């Protein structure tokens, strides 16, 4: 009687196989992002997109997503809302769909996540992105000279400023989320030192626009470069440079939306 051949795969071999599959899927997602978000892809470059995608694969697994469709959706939302959107208070109406564990309800949760994301975009960006375009125009017209007048503004007053610049978004994400984001921005400025306190409104504006994790987000390396290169005695120059880069980015974003 002939014995059956049993193939034994060692744990180390299995790990290498999984890593190879993950690497191939990441490369595939980079090609997908090139089509899904071509302007971001061009701005970031392939290496930064790949680095962001690997973060997405890791975080998607942490939320119980294993299938290719749900993981791809998760990565897409990162490029829409910011790499760390899953912990961002302004996207709680979307990320509530991530609740749950296990593979049994994975597809259902992905469907809900997609539905919540579409609903968010409909209400916040508006038809033909009209709300978003109008908000971008108002900030772009602010200019550096008027923008620095917001420096040192109390947190309670800044909440009102955000409502004036982007009322549709503030209404949709609710007051509690706006307040939480403002507090986070002011706490971050205070953590960087007394000379950064006047920059609290700018840090909040960056978080409100690019996500609360924008300071470590590989999608926006220009933010990290300015902050990381800042010397404690040169906060004013760093804030001015950051604000000017912020306005330039918003102007480009408005131009792309207009197209």
What tens digit of pLDDT does each residue of 73-107 get?
999 999 999 999 999 999 999 999 998 755 558 99
Mean of the per-residue pLDDT values for the chain?
Answer: 87
Contact between 113 and 100 under an 8 Å Cβ cutoff? The reply is no
CB neighbourhood size of 238 (10 A): 19
State percent of the chain over pLDDT 70: 88
pTM of the model: 0.87
Residue 5 DSSP class:
P
Cα–Cα distance list, 203 to 4, 103, 104, 252 (Å): 65, 38, 40, 20
Give the separation between CA 171 and CA 165, rounded to whole angstroms.
12
Cα–Cα distance list, 28 to 35, 72, 75, 165 (Å): 11, 10, 12, 38
Domain count, the chain: 2
Asked if residue 144 and residue 246 are part of one domain, the reply reads yes
Query: pLDDT value at position 237?
Result: 85
The answer to whether position 5 is within a domain reads no
The answer to whether position 166 is within a domain reads yes
pLDDT band per the 50, 70, 90 thresholds, residue 11: low
Per-residue pLDDT tens for 208-232? 999 999 999 999 998 988 887 645 4
Give the separation between CA 94 and CA 118, rounded to whole angstroms.
9
Residue range(s) defining the domain that contains residue 77 = 11-124
Residue 234 DSSP class:
G
Of 60, 95, 124, the one marking the end of a domain is 124
Lookup: tokens for 126: 């508006």
Using a 10 angstrom Cβ sphere, with 0-12 exposed, 13-18 middle and 19 or more buried, the burial of residue 140 is middle
Asked if residue 250 and residue 151 are part of one domain, the reply reads yes
pLDDT band per the 50, 70, 90 thresholds, residue 15: very low
Is 240 a residue whose pLDDT tops 60?
yes
Contact between 112 and 97 under an 8 Å Cβ cutoff? The reply is yes
């Amino acid at each position: 009687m002939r014995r059956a051949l049993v193939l034994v795969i060692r744990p180390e071999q299995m790990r290498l196989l999984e890593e190879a599959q993950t690497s191939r899927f990441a490369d595939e997602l980079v090609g997908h992002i090139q089509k899904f978000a071509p302007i971001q892809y061009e701005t970031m470059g392939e290496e930064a997109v790949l680095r962001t995608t690997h973060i997405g694969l890791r975080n998607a697994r942490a939320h119980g997503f294993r299938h290719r469709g749900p993981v791809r959706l998760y990565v897409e939302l990162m490029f829409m809302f910011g790499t760390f959107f899953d912990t961002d208070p302004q996207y709680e109406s979307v990320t509530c769909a991530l609740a749950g564990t296990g593979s049994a309800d994975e597809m259902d949760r992905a469907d809900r996540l997609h539905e919540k994301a579409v609903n968010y975009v409909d209400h916040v960006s508006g038809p033909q992105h009209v709300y978003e375009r109008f908000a971008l125009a108002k900030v772009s017209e602010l200019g550096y000279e008027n923008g620095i007048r917001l420096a040192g503004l109390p947190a309670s007053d800044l909440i009102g400023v955000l409502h004036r610049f982007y009322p549709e978004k503030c209404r949709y994400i609710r007051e509690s989320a706006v307040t939480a984001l403002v507090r986070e921005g002011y706490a971050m400025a205070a953590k960087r030192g007394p000379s950064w306190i006047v920059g609290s409104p700018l840090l909040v504006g960056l978080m409100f626009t690019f996500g609360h994790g924008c300071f470590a987000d590989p999608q926006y390396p220009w933010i990290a470069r300015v902050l990381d290169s800042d010397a404690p005695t040169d906060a004013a120059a760093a804030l001015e440079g950051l604000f000017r880069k912020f306005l330039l980015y918003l102007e480009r974003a408005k131009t792309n939306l207009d197209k």
